[in-house]
Each structure stands twice: as structure tokens, then as C-alpha cells.
Amino acid sequence: MFTKKMEADLNDQIVREMFSSNLYLSMSSYFESINLRGFANWMRIQAEEEFAHTMKFYEYILERGGRSIIGQINAPKNQWDDVLDVYGEVLAHEREVTESINNLVRIAREEGDYATENFLQWFVAEQVEEEANVSDVLEQLKMIDGKGAGLFILDRELKQRVFVPIATTK
């Protein structure tokens, strides 16, 4: 069993992960509406990954003898200025998630909860990858000023992304 504080903070992270999933699904819908189906695909895959992260936290809490409690999830934004605006927001959002994960690691250390600290290391590594992937796309978008033929080439490339399920505790 872990502390009630750790359990509550992990449950708060479930809400953050579910919000992330909804945000990326909203971004996917935005891209569909402007006929950028590769970008829509990239965001849909991102939404699936975030939901998988949600379930990883959910299952971990249960495995530790806690109770996963799903809190209120705010509605995500649904309109952006352009592709650069979307990916700028994604990078800022992923940095917030990284900060949240790092805070959970700090709390686990303070509480001497080595099992949770170990569990969270997967997310620490995942956030490095998430930020790098978003940064790569954003930098490519900046090179082409988010327009023109380059945008359509990148759209075709992003259409190739596929969801790879992650391992959970169950």
C-alpha cells in the first residue's frame, strides 16, 4: 500500500492524462476539418497513447491496493490559428506533463515510495521521447513556415504513424 497523498496525486495524473487524450483528439478533429489527414492521424495516435498512459496509472493504483478515482476532465480547446499554433501548443502541453511527472517522482522520493518512483521512471523516459517527437515536427513546420508543398509532404509522412500499444501491469 502507498500513502493517501501518493494515491491522490496519481489519481490527479489520471485526469491530466485523460485531458491530454481529449486535447489531442480535438486537435485531430481540427486537422480533419482542414483536410490535413496525416496531421489528424498523428494526433489521433497521440490521443490513443495518452489514453494508454491513463490506463497504466489506473492499473498501477489498483495493483498497489488503492482506488482509481476519475475526476472531472475539462473540455479541451477546439480551434487554432494554423498548424504551427497547434504544434506550439502541443510542445507547451508536453512540457507541462513532464513537469507533472517530475513532481510525482519528487513526491515518491520524499515519501520513500521506491515502487512508485520505479513505476514513474517509464514516464520520465516517455516524456523525453514525447517532447523530442513534437519538437521534430515543430521544427520541420518552422522550416516550411507551416505552408506550401512542404506542408503536404509532411502531412503524407505523418499519415504513416501507427499506434503501438504499451505494456500495462495487467
Q: Please report, for the chain, the start and end positions of each structural domain, with discontinuous segments joined by +.
A: 4-158
Helix (H) or strand (E) segment spanning residue 59 = helix 37-63
* Confidence band, pLDDT 50/70/90 cuts, at residue 39: very high
Q: How far is Cα of residue 35 from the mean position of the Cα atoms in its chain?
A: 23
- Residue 142: helix, strand or coil by DSSP? helix
Q: Which pLDDT belongs to residue 168?
A: 61
pLDDT at 162 over 80: yes
Q: Which pLDDT belongs to residue 150?
A: 95
Q: What is the pLDDT of residues 80-130, one digit of tens each?
A: 999 999 999 999 999 999 999 999 999 999 999 999 999 999 999 999 999
Terminal C-alpha separation, the chain:
18
Q: Domain 4-158 classified CATH 2.30.30.280?
A: no
**Distance from C-alpha of 38 to C-alpha of 158, rounded to nearest angstrom:** 5
pLDDT at 1 over 70: no
Q: Which pLDDT belongs to residue 165?
A: 87
* Confidence band, pLDDT 50/70/90 cuts, at residue 170: low
Mean pLDDT to the nearest integer, 56-80: 96
Q: Which pLDDT belongs to residue 167?
A: 73
Mean pLDDT to the nearest integer, 154-167: 90
**pLDDT above 70: percentage of residues in the chain:** 98
**Distance from C-alpha of 84 to C-alpha of 94, rounded to nearest angstrom:** 15
Alpha-carbon Rg for the chain in angstroms: 17
CA-nearest of 111, 105, 96 to 124 is 105
Q: Which pLDDT belongs to residue 59?
A: 96
pTM (2 d.p.)? 0.94
Tell me how long the chain is.
Answer: 170
Q: Which pLDDT belongs to residue 166?
A: 83
pLDDT at 169 over 80: no
Whether the Cβ atoms of residue 52 and residue 136 lie closer than 8 Å to each other: no
* Confidence band, pLDDT 50/70/90 cuts, at residue 139: very high
Mean pLDDT to the nearest integer, 51-60: 97
**Distance from C-alpha of 66 to C-alpha of 69, rounded to nearest angstrom:** 9
